[in-house]
Amino acid sequence: MTFLQGTRRNFLQTTGSAAVGLALGAQALPGRASTAANERLSVGFVGAGMRGTELMKVAASICQKFPADLTAVCDLWSYHRQRGVDQVKELTGREPRQFQHLEEMLAWSGLDAVVIATPDHAHAIHLTQCVQAGKHVYCEKPFANVLQEANDAVDAWRNSRCVATVGTQFRSDPRYRAAAELVRTGVLGPIVKVDRTFNAHSPYRWRRPAEIKLLKEADTDWKAWLLNKPDRAFDPQTYLEFRLMPEFSSGVIDQWMSHGIDGVHMLTGAALPRSVVAHGGNYGWKDGRANGDTAHVLLDYPEGFLCSHTTSLVNGFGGRGGVVMGRDAALEFHTNWRLSGEGGALARTLPTRLISEEGSVGDGDPVLHMRNWLECVQQGEQQTHCTPADSYPAAVACIMATQALHSGRRVQFDQATRTIRFG
């Protein structure tokens, strides 16, 4: 079985129960990790920055009715670490253990699972460390932004008994799941084009001026933060505004295209793009940022369609909308949820149909996604709504887009060798 076949199989498993929203959609896998129903899961957090503390609130709300406890906080910076400890104590009434380094937390025998909310360049490395230590993982997106690290992480997960989810939470939105099931019926006809926008008016996005003033090298571990990146002088701006620094993040691609293209993959059943071209730059915010505020990516898929993914931090017109266009009909998603024959072969015969599923939550709310992960951990089911294998194609697409953007060249993906080449 090729990697593509395995990924498509996962897609069919994870979207097969779309109409019922939160159904787990896969049978328990023989020999996989499981936790007895009467045991309480011990969950630790690595990364207590803005996203990490948001996920603590999500987890705490779920754990009010779920047998799990927030037991540990890990962060290299003492200020963030203490803030995370204080938040868990406020949310749960219990003070968690605290660790500076992930290796120390993973060595604690009382830990079952880890929520990874570290900087983008650390996600795949930390996921690999966690599953190799036998810990279940909820990993923030992007799953990876270096191809070899993505390959290593998905292999480590496949070779483990761990339950892992990547935080592209739209995969758990009942509307997305119902829409994916609808597309699978073939009502659109052959898919020929997908348009996806992910826009916002956000001039100060990912800036952290107040915290930059607080961060001192003596209060963190700069070399540990760099991981496998070349050593350099301590820079608090890089540390806290990493999303604007190309060596550590691709900015709008890692942060927003990772969501947008994953939704495209879920809805269409497509996996890995065949080729990618991209353009972008700083067109609105001339504030010295290294990563652009705008990106336009074109992806060609072997299933036979073209996808246009556009992102802007300058103007929010179009929001986070999208449309899947088939020969016969089209599906609008994310902003408007409707099936329409308008523009296709069924223009005169297919009535417009709104897509609405009970249990849908606010845009971007990860509560259903994290609940699905915890339920799968409890039941010993490795097939969550978004495993590392499910997220791998989105990571590859974003890595290809980044390389195409920086090089100005067309890039292709070789499925057999899991490598990227220009041409």
Q: What is the pLDDT of residues 89-128, one digit of tens each?
A: 999 999 999 999 999 999 999 999 999 999 999 999 999 9
Residue 353's pLDDT is what? 74
Distances (CA, A) of 327 to 189, 192, 253, 343: 5, 7, 29, 9
Confidence of residue 347 (pLDDT cuts 50, 70, 90): low
DSSP H or E segment with residue 7: helix 3-15
Q: Which domains does the chain have, with CATH numbers?
A: 3-172+366-386 (3.40.50.720), 174-206+246-360+395-422 (3.30.360.10)
Residue 116 token pair: 């990874």
pTM of the model: 0.89
Confidence of residue 357 (pLDDT cuts 50, 70, 90): low
d(Cα 234, Cα 401) in Å, to the nearest integer? 29
Q: 33-69, pLDDT tens digit by residue?
A: 445 544 899 999 999 999 999 999 999 999 999 999 9
Confidence of residue 361 (pLDDT cuts 50, 70, 90): low
Q: 385-400, pLDDT tens digit by residue?
A: 999 999 999 999 999 9
d(Cα 283, Cα 286) in Å, to the nearest integer? 7
Residue 30's pLDDT is what? 26
d(Cα 269, Cα 271) in Å, to the nearest integer? 7
Return the minimum-mean-pLDDT range out of 24-28, 200-204, 308-312, 373-377: 24-28
**CA-based radius of gyration for the chain:** 21
Residue 1's pLDDT is what? 40
d(Cα 159, Cα 57) in Å, to the nearest integer? 31
Q: 206-232, pLDDT tens digit by residue?
A: 999 999 999 999 999 999 999 999 999
Residue 44's pLDDT is what? 99
Instruction: Output the average pLDDT for the chain.
Output: 89
